[in-house]
Amino acid sequence: MMTSFFAGLLLAYAGMAALCLGMERHFKQVWQHLPSPGQRQALRLAGWALLAGSFAACVLAWGWAMGPVGWLGQVSLGGFLLLMLLPYWPRLAVLLPVFAAPWLGLVGVIQG
């Protein structure tokens, strides 16, 4: 359960980060240049796909009844964490899921 819980959290954060980067204002805030229309499209698609992945992880962790409740919480809190990090460390904020992924693997191994 812990593995899917943290996977859900990570995917929720990553999804929100991708959706955020899909907005011109924030893409520029992080990378100092404007995204191409294709990039924006791809980021938005990726964002929704990651959120869907997060939903699946929550259903795995809690089942169909509690999963959606937990998912909304994870997406909200993931978005809030991103909001708080973005103005201070923009690149770290959007790359955080990449750094966090190996830790998730560790949790998975410990939990078996």
Partner 1 sequence: MKQTLTQSMAWLHTWGGLVFGWLLFAIFLTGTLAVFDKELDLWMRPEVPAQKVEQSQALQRALEYLQAKHPQAERWNISLPSERSPTLGVSAGNQRRGGGELLNPQTGEPLAVRETAGGGFFFRFHFTLNMPRTLGIWLVGLAAMAMLVALVSGIVIHKKIFKEFFTFRPGKGQRSWLDGHNASAVLLLPFHLMITYTGLVIFLLIYMPAAVDALYGDREAFGRALRGAPVEQQAGRGGEQGARHERAERPRAAPAPLAALGPLLAEAEQQMGPLAGLSIDHPGRSDARIEVRPILGNRIELTKGRSMLFDGVNGAVLRAPAESRPSQLTQRVMAGLHFAQFGGYPMRWLYFLCGLVSSAMIASGLVLFCVKRRRKYASEAPAARRVSHLIEALNLAAVAGLSLACIGLLWANRLLPVELAQRAAWEVNAFFAVWLLSLLHALWRPTLRGWGEQLGLSALLCMALPLLSLLTLPEPWAQPLHQALELTSLALGMALAGLAWRVYRRQEAAPPLPRRGAVMQEAL
Query: 2 vs 6, 91, 110, CA distance in Å?
Result: 6, 28, 10
Stretch in the footprint of partner 1 (CB under 8 A) among 19-27, 36-44, 45-53, 99-107: 19-27
If one asks whether residue 108 binds partner 1 (CB under 8 A), the answer comes out as no
If one asks whether residue 84 binds partner 1 (CB under 8 A), the answer comes out as yes
Nearest to 56 by CA among 42, 74, 41, 39: 74
If one asks whether residue 2 binds partner 1 (CB under 8 A), the answer comes out as yes
Draw the binding track, 32-71, toward partner 1 (x: CB under 8 A; -: no contact).
Answer: -----------------------------xx--xx--xx-
Is residue 22 within 8 Å of 40, Cβ to Cβ? Answer: yes
Task: Give the residue, chosen from 27, 86, 96, 97, that forms a contact with partner 1 under the rule CB under 8 A.
Answer: 86
DSSP letter for 32, please: S
